[in-house]
Amino acid sequence: MKIAIAGAGIGGLTAALSLHAAGFSNIKLFEAAREIQQVGVGINLPPHAVRELVELGLGDGLAAIGLPTAELCYYDRSGELIWAEARGTTAGYRWPQYSVHRGRLQHLLLAAVRERLGSSAVTSGQRVEACTADEDAVSLTVTDLASETRTVHRANLLIGSDGIRSAVRTALYGSPVPLATNGWVMYRGATPAASMRFLSGRSMVIVGDEAQRVVAYPIDESTINWLMVRPLPTAGDAGTPLGNWNHEVDAQDIARHVQEWRFDWLDFHALVRSTKTVYEYPMADIDPLGQWSFGRITLLGDAAHAMYPFGSNGASQAIIDARVLAYQLAHHAADPVVALAAYDAARRESVAKVQLANRRQAGDVMARVSALARARAHGQARDELKTVEDNYKRLAGFDIETLNNRPSWSVQPTAAST
């Protein structure tokens, strides 16, 4: 079976590794970026994502590039603790939670794909522009960005893992799916700050209220990743197109928003001000889709379910997509159309609930918690947060009991997997 993947981000690369582990070897990834570089900032990988990467044989590599997260702490705007909970193995999971630089994670996955599938498995500077399917195969039109020439490739199935502005999704739905925004903007940076190590040195903190929040956590022994979210006066005022993760802004200008946020455990103003590169990203997601799989074509990751970056679940859900997709293809290798439909049925509705929960996290949840904190009802605010976190873990598939005890999605290769 010949499998094409549009996009070599975290989701697409994990899909290739998962398919290879299930016995599929004829896999080709088309990546639009001319060079896959270690760009971006940090992400957090909860235990449900880490489990899947460990089961793909990447545990040692993750441990080498990531920092285990030991606790998550919520603080109000004045820097007073509302609630803290253990995370990862400290909380009783069989797998750690890692904070890691997104670019290093992508390169870990890329190196594994090239080692296992061959150096030619991933081609860069190749953008999938369109696709059509018939009863037997998929035709995908790919543009070489260097020569601007177009080539039509044929495959038995196509996985659209080409991001929030997915061309594959547009082809399936006949027009671009509108991006939604809540009128908030996020600023992100990763700052060399060995002297600013805070709390346990393995802590992730969320500080603020419904008017402004900052999240910070170390991604290695000398770098702190941070992000700031705040509402815009008018949606879209950031001047950055929705879905663009890489628009740079001036750190000094952004640092003014946390001028007074200087606590005895971390000086946020100094952290932001000393960041070399700050990215601006207007918050964007898509409404849950009514269908992911269309015959021999399916969607994965942001192409299927772009969501607000709350709960550390964007990349995590893409990783799980990849594992479930490979599992279904291994069990229905004789009929990929049946396999993709089974993948759709297994994932789409459950991920839609996570998408909508992330919208609530970004809005009414923090408003309720912040109102309680301002009223000095920190005990009630703590109970509210704990309830929300417990419900979210169950929804996203990483409450401790479920994750520790559910069967693996790893499968033994079959003769039909070629």
Specify the pLDDT at position 239: 59
The pLDDT, as a whole number, for residue 235 is: 45
Which parts of the chain register pLDDT below 50? 235-238
Using CA atoms in the order 400, 308, 363, 358, what is the torsion angle rounded to 10 degrees? -30
The pLDDT assigned to 252 comes to 95
- Give 183's Cβ-side CA count (13 Å radius): 8
CATH of domain 3-179+294-405: 3.50.50.60
Rounded distance between C-alpha atoms, residue 111 and residue 38, angstroms? 12
pLDDT in tens, 204-254: 999 999 889 999 999 999 999 999 999 876 544 445 677 677 789 999 999
**pLDDT reported for residue 245:** 72
pLDDT at 408: 97
Residue with tokens 């609630």: 83
**pLDDT per position as a tens digit, 194-212:** 888 899 999 999 999 988 9
Give this prediction's pTM: 0.94
| Phi and psi based region of residue 118 (left: phi greater than 0; alpha: psi -120 to 50; beta: remaining) | left
Q: What is the DSSP letter of 165?
A: T
Short-list 162, 163, 151, 159, CA closest to 133: 159
d(CA 224, CA 344): 37
